[in-house]
């Protein structure tokens, strides 16, 4: 029973006799003898085997281990397929969100440009002898100056982002 359990658990863990032997610091023939029932590991070795297999010693000694069947593999593959679909859906959702964020950024930039163009910098005609008015005028002028220089780069980036996120989503849909 011990020999069958060692062999079944080793196979279920995907280990060869050689790999198990290396982990236990024994020769491969020792593993082969254990699995054929020609010899048995001592108590210390049983503990080492149980640690490598992450299995209780009682399981090694007493319980029959059923090897993984095709049905079990089918269930596992179905679960992995579901997980892969969930991950793909999550990735697609993030990509769509990013796509719409780029579109929104482009729209906001265009709206601010239109507002600035229509307003013709009205703060230039303000009375700057009033401290509150002068501070507000400087703030508006600084915003307009910075926006006119940075916004075209942001708009180009937003357009590129829309293009590339659309291109990626089209590739994933095909």
For 93-132, how does the pLDDT look when each residue is reduced to its tens digit (9 = 90+)?
999 999 999 999 999 999 998 998 898 888 778 888 888 8
18, 28 contact by CB (below 8 A): yes
**CA count, 13 A, side-chain hemisphere, 64:** 1
13, 53 contact by CB (below 8 A): yes
DSSP three-state, residue 38: coil
Q: What is the rounded average pLDDT of the residues 154-174?
A: 81
- What count of other Cβ atoms lies within 10 Å of the Cβ of residue 159? 14
DSSP three-state, residue 154: helix
Of the pLDDT bands very low, low, confident and very high (cuts 50, 70, 90), residue 146 is: very high
Higher pLDDT, 19 or 168: 19
Higher pLDDT, 74 or 92: 92
Fold adopted by 2-61 = 434 Repressor (Amino-terminal Domain) (1.10.260)
27, 21 contact by CB (below 8 A): yes
- Model pLDDT, residue 119: 86
- Model pLDDT, residue 172: 62
- Model pLDDT, residue 54: 87
Q: What is the rounded average pLDDT of the residues 76-97?
A: 89
Least confident piece of the model among 36-40, 72-76, 145-149: 72-76
Q: What is the pTM of this model?
A: 0.50
- Model pLDDT, residue 70: 56
């Amino acid at each position: 029973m011990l020999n069958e359990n060692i062999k079944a658990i080793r196979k279920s863990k995907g280990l060869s006799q050689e790999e198990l032997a290396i982990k236990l610091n024994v020769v491969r023939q020792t593993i082969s003898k254990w699995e054929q029932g020609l010899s048995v590991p001592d108590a210390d070795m049983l503990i080492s085997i149980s640690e490598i297999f992450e299995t209780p010693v009682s399981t090694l000694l007493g319980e029959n281990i059923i090897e993984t069947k095709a049905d079990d593999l089918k269930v596992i593959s179905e679960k992995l397929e579901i997980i892969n679909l969930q991950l793909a859906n999550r990735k697609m959702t993030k990509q769509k969100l990013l796509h719409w964020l780029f579109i929104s950024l482009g729209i906001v930039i265009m709206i601010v440009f239109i507002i600035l163009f229509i307003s013709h910098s009205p703060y230039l005609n303000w009375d700057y002898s009033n401290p509150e008015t002068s501070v507000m005028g400087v703030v508006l002028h600084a915003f307009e100056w910075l926006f006119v220089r940075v916004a075209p780069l942001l708009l180009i980036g937003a357009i590129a982002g829309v293009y590339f996120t659309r291109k990626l989503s089209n590739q994933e849909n095909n």
